[in-house]
Every structure is written in structure tokens, then in C-alpha cells.
Structure 1
Amino acid sequence: MEIISLQYPIAESEAARAALPKTLAIGHFDGVHRGHQNVIAKAISSARAFGLQGAVMTFHPHPKQVLGRSEQYVACLTPLDEKVERFRRLGVDVVYIVQFDLDFAKVSPFDFVGNMLRPLQVKRAVVGFDFTFGAKGAGKPETLWALGEPDIEVDIVEPFMQDGDKVSSSRIREALMNGRPEEAAELLGEPYAVRGVVVQGEGRGRKIGYPTANIQQEDGFLIPRQGVYAIMAETDGQRYSGVLNIGVKPTFHDNLTEPVMEAHLFDFGGDLYGKTVSVQFIAFLRTEKKFGSIDELIAQIHSDADQAKALLTAYDKK
């Protein structure tokens, strides 16, 4: 899969690299959820049917970040590198990463089609039903259809529905921020995961019989609701089940404000310091609470581990 970074307007050298005609799925695709997968699958199948390249165009950073709409935007579900990897798994031939900045935000729908899609040799564009483009989101799928004539055909993909509502990135964020990872997994097509590096912690877990990996998550991932989760973790190509807490450790701290992510992996006895770990959130077990004694905390951790093991055993059998 080829990855090409672009700025508007497209340089002649980049246009020359795009000599092959292609079908192009266009969108931000945060999360690459089941609705996005439907759009991309349509583009790929169309490309194969007509002997074209199957390509995806995404935008970075998120337009809402650039336009200052922070009240509508919490964090990415998938940082750029993770999103690109998911495109690869979907069979995409070329990924175009368009730099989204204030100048690009002013480009008209007419200029977007004429100065970006046509130089890239786009013969068929595939977009979701709610796709918008151009300055102030003036362009709609029907706009793209009209501006594309006569040389660019447009496929408009209907919403992908789940439990009576459309699948969307905002719906997934809402599920994760309210402790519903199972719902998020249904919408994504796989469990939601974050990635981070194991760093030195306070060492209390080992002293009480439950050694934990203190995971410093990478930037760009939305962190789910604080609390205790049953998880699957992967590091060095190996998968482990476990239990994880996101929180401020109120039993030991009164003024910790930045949540810490600590995972206890079952059946693991090695050294994780400095290693990258990917954590899949399988089920929410409980909210974080302050315990009156260390013994109460240990008893609760033991109960959490038993509950997580039972849930993860059932999950593995699905």
C-alpha cells in the first residue's frame, strides 16, 4: 500500500505520480468503524470491477481541531498511523493524507474537485450520505455528483445502521466515555484499543500480589471512562488477558488529577518496562472507589480478577 501526503493545491510532481485512474473513498474516517468500512469496501470493490486503483483520501489533523470546534471534538478514536494500518487491512492500494489547515478550509467545493480530484485521476468517488466538503461544509454528496460530471462518477453510500441508529464516530465516543466498551466494539467491528509504553510506576501492585504495568498512553487516543475493565493486551506479538484500572488511585492519593492507566496481566511474569502494549477494552467492571484499608483493596482486586477471567473466557469462546 502506497501512502502519499498532499497539500492543496497539488504539486505537479504529485499529480504525475497519480497517473493511474482510481476509485477514491473520501472522508476523515476516524475509528474506521463499520460505516466507514462499508464506504471503503464499496470503493475497493468498484475499483476491482473496473480495473482501477482502490484509494482512500483522509484529512489530518481533524478539521474540528483546526477550526476550533473543541466542544464538538474530544479526541481521535484512531491516531493517523493506526487509521492507515486499518486501511491497509481493508485492501486499500493508495492512501492520500491531505493536510487540513485554515487555508485548505477555505477551498471551495468547485476547486476541491477541479484542483484535487481531477489531478489525482479520480474516475469514481465514493462518499457517505452525510459527507461534506469545501468551505463551511458547503459541498454535499449531490454537489460532488454535479461537479464531477462528466468524468467523475459518484457513489453515495447509505448509513450503516446498528440497533436502529446510524453507526458514527460520535456514537462510539459516547459509548466509551460512558463505560460501554461492548457497544463500541459492535460499532467498530472489533474491541476499542489504545496503545502505550510501560513506564515506572509506584510499585504498590507487586507488594500486594498484583503487579501492574503502568501504561503511558500515546497521544491521539480517546481514553474511556475511568474505572476497572476486563481487557486483552498484546505486546511482542503475544496476547494476555487481564484487568485494568483507569483512575486517580483515591485509596493512596487525595490530589491526583491526571488519570493513570494500570494493567494486571494474568499469567505474565516477565518485564514490561519500556515495551509498547496495545490494550483492548472488553468489558467495564466497576467505577473506581476509595477503600478503607489495603486489605479491602486486595479483596476487591481479587474479585475484579475473577470477574474479568470469567468474562474473558466467555469472550474467547465467541
Structure 2
Amino acid sequence: MTTALAADPEPPRPRPRSRPQRLRRDAVRYRWLLLLMLPGALYFALFRFWPMYGARIAFKNYIPFLGIDGSEWVGLDHFQAFLSNPDFTRLLANTLIVAALSLFIAFPLTIVLALLLNELRLQILKRTVQTLVYIPHFLSWTVVVSITALLFAIGTGPLWTFLSDLFGTDANMLADPDWFRPLILMQMVWKDTGWGTIIFLAALAGVDQEQYEAAVIDGAGRWQRVRNITIPSIMPTIVVLLILHTGQILNTGFEQIYLMSNSLNRTVADVFDTYVYFAGIEQGAYSYSTAVGLFKALVGLVLIFGTNWLAKRFNQQGIF
């Protein structure tokens, strides 16, 4: 005789939550993280996304009395006027030279300084040096330029006296076009190199120490460990920062350039950022200056995608 065993009834499955219910549940669960994210989200909403509404004036003949909606559409006329402007070539060259100084000199110096700090074994010395190189970042460009003016003041500045004796010149370095870019580079290196090491030091802290121990056992010297372990370990961080830095290549910084420029060095000091200020604020060409700003943004976007593509081609991790 066979007996049929009755199968246990399956427990009822919970009804799947709808999307609004899942969103409410996640909002309650991560409420503190969302609260911490709120200031940053507000910043980008107010200063990054909301201004895009006014960027339409780049394609209009904007008249403040008529407003944005009432102004006449002119299409790409302002872009054509800017690209055909005789000053365009000079502005582009000045901007690219300052950007190259930042990309090929200041950026590598940040990596070198991070590697040197990582090699310090005396913690007190390491923290002291880190503090000293971080401090300049918290000074405004107005203070930095004021310090530069005191150090290079003609006839009285200590650095002016030293360089004058070294090169045998009595030129006014603050107004000489030949000295403008070296001074800009020195300011950038002094102010931001130490601060830029924070990300690299964080990446270096995540390097597996067992690799160093194995390299020491194999007889590798300090430079060999840096070249074969340290640099390859932080290469993804270097590539990501390089991509982001490349996207900002036309943003040379308005405050520093504007404060260091004068009527005598303007031939090499005028860049896109200062040109937008002079055209938009001083001359009232709002639509034209907005078109220049959009041109910079589009070039930066293309550079980000291009650099990210190159990073993928060389088997490096990009930002997307």
C-alpha cells in the first residue's frame, strides 16, 4: 500500500514593493547620508545647473531691458565673432602656455612631493613638513599676490635683489612680460603643490606593505621599490586626476591672472578667463562673453572624453 505524502503548502510570498515604496524605504534608511549630501547637492544645483538657464543668452542678442526670453535669437553669431577675433590666437596661446605650466610642471611636482613625504619614516618630521606645505593653500590669491609684490618690489624686494645680482638685471619683474609666467608658475607651485599631495598620500597608504617586504628580501633598493611598486600602485589615481586636470586646461584661474596682470604685461597675461571679465563686466557684452565661456566648457568636455579614451587605450582605468 502506498501512501501519498501531502506536500507542505508554500508560504505566501511577500508582495513586491513598488518603486515609490522602495524610494521611501531607502530615504528613511539612509537619511543621515542624504542629509550630509544636501549641502553639496545644493551647491551644484545653485551654482552649476541653475546658471545653465541663463547660458541661452550666448545664442541671443541679450538686452537686459527685454530679458532672456524677449531677446532676439542670433544663433552662432557670437561664437563666429569670437573665433574670428584677432585676439583669439593670442588668448588661446596665453591660456595654453599657462595650462601647460600647470599640467607638465606643477602636477608632476605634486606627485614627487607625495613620494618624498611617503619615504619619511620619522612621523614627527613627516607631519611637520605636511603642515608647512598645506598652509599656503588656505591663503587667498590676493594675499599670495601681495606677498609676491613685496618679495619682488623693484629696489627693495629681497628676491628682486637676489635675482638682480644673479642675472645682472634691474628689470621690474612684476611688470616685465618675460617674468610673468615664471612668477605665475612659482605661485602655483608654492600655493597648491602641498595640498595636492593629500589624494596621493591617501592612495599610497593603501599600497600593500607585503610587496615592499618581499622586494626588500629580493634585494630591491629604495628607488627600485618606488619605481616598481609605489608608482604602479598609484597609477590609477594619477590617471583619474590627470583626466580631470586636462578637462580644466582652459580654466587658468581668474583671480591669480587678473591680480598679476597690468598694462605692461597684458600681452602675455590676457587669457580666456580675464577676457570674459573684460568683455562681459567692463564692456557689457553679456551674450558675447557667455559664448566665450561656453566655448571653454565645450573644449573642456571634449578633452575629458578624449583623455579618458586614451587612458582606456593604454589599459588604464578612466573616470567612466
Which TM bucket (shorter chain)? under 0.3
User: What TM-score does the superposition give when structure 1 sets the normalisation length?
Assistant: 0.23
- Greater relative contact order structure (CA < 8 Å, 6+ sep): 2
